[in-house]
């Protein structure tokens, strides 16, 4: 075990995702096992620069595993993008006697942590938490399963009203650069079409595919659109195809931030607990500048520089399945 570490800090950063609190709870309680002092950083990297620290213990993280969002809050920080900002953040950690930092977030969070370690020698470990599920080195990120189930529940209800009125619904889900939510949601709700940032589909192709499906005498049609799809999202797509499908009372529904909120699913609570505890374990074993994930149900350690070097790709077996089943 690493005897150089007696005090750590933990923070949540970037976009919030369900399960961040469960990960925070696991970090604190696992740190207690090693008799480490734990500081929470309020409002991410901006709070680190502004010296917003809160001492944490088991009692302070009780009754949070079921809560969405993050009790430590999150914030974007332009100041941390500067060398001066990172220097101030590192100095604040040293002034508190903090030996290592655990960051819970996505690729932007990990990029910042890696810079902090490279420039100022701060030991860092990352825990992947983003509903986009686009971080390599882990099969799933914290929050993805909950966001997926939230989208499915909402779209199931939309399907009911679409069928009742012979409507065509274009439902936009989150995923500016990654189509994981759109792909798996589309399969789960039986969408006629799923439009993903990773697949280029022209407006003419979309019209042709929808017309072919409607020839099958379907009473309604449901298209799942990732917000980052090249068509410009659901609103822009609707504007481009409305004249061709006037009969179907075209409607748009943007699910938006409901996908970020709500109590985390059982799967996310267990994943977050497992990753939070593992982050402390590998930190005490001497690892630095790494992210902890789970691949094929086994713990996997990935260097932060690798985790932020590229986005995780879609499972094209699932893409093919979506094409077959629509």
Residues carrying an active site annotation = 132
For residue 311, what is the DSSP state?
A: B
**Is the Cα dihedral 222, 225, 231, 235 positive or negative?**
positive
Residue whose token pair is 């075209």: 250
With contact defined as beta carbons under 8 Å apart, do 132 and 116 qualify?
Answer: no
The pair of structure tokens assigned to 191 is: 């969408």
Rounded Cα distance, 102 and 104, in Å: 7
Report helix angle 180-189 to 144-165, nearest 10.
Answer: 50
Q: Which residues pair with 290 in a beta bridge?
A: 125, 303
List of residues 6+ apart from 93 with CB closer than 8 A: 9, 48, 101, 122
């Amino acid at each position: 075990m690493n005897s150089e570490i007696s005090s750590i800090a933990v923070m949540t950063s970037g976009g919030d995702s369900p399960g961040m609190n469960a990960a925070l709870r696991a970090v604190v309680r696992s740190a207690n096992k090693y008799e480490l002092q734990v500081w929470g950083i309020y409002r991410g990297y901006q709070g680190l620069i502004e010296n917003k620290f809160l001492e944490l213990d088991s009692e302070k993280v009780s009754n949070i595993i079921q809560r969405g969002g993050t009790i430590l809050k999150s914030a974007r920080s332009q100041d941390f993008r500067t060398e001066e900002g990172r220097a101030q953040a590192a100095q604040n950690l040293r002034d508190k006697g903090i030996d290592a930092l655990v960051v819970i977030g996505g690729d932007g969070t990990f990029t910042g942590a890696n810079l902090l370690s490279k420039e100022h020698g701060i030991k860092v470990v990352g825990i992947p938490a983003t509903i986009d599920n686009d971080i390599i080195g882990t099969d799933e990120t914290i929050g993805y399963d909950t966001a997926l189930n939230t989208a499915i529940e909402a779209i199931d209800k939309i399907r009911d009203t679409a069928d009742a009125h012979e409507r065509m619904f274009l439902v936009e889900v989150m995923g500016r650069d990654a189509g994981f939510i759109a792909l798996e949601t589309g399969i789960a709700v039986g969408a006629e079409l799923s439009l993903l940032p990773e697949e280029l589909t022209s407006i003419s192709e979309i019209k042709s595919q929808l017309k072919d499906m409607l020839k099958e005498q379907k009473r309604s049609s449901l298209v799942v659109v990732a917000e980052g799809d090249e068509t410009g999202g659901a609103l822009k797509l609707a504007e481009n195809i409305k004249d061709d499908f006037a009969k179907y009372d075209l409607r748009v529904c943007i699910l938006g931030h409901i996908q970020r909120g709500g109590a985390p699913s059982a799967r996310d609570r267990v994943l977050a607990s497992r990753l939070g505890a593992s982050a402390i374990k590998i930190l005490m074993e001497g690892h630095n500048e790494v992210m902890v994930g789970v691949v094929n149900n086994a713990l996997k350690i990935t260097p932060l520089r690798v985790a932020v070097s590229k986005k995780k790709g879609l499972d094209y077996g699932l893409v093919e399945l979506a094409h077959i089943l629509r």
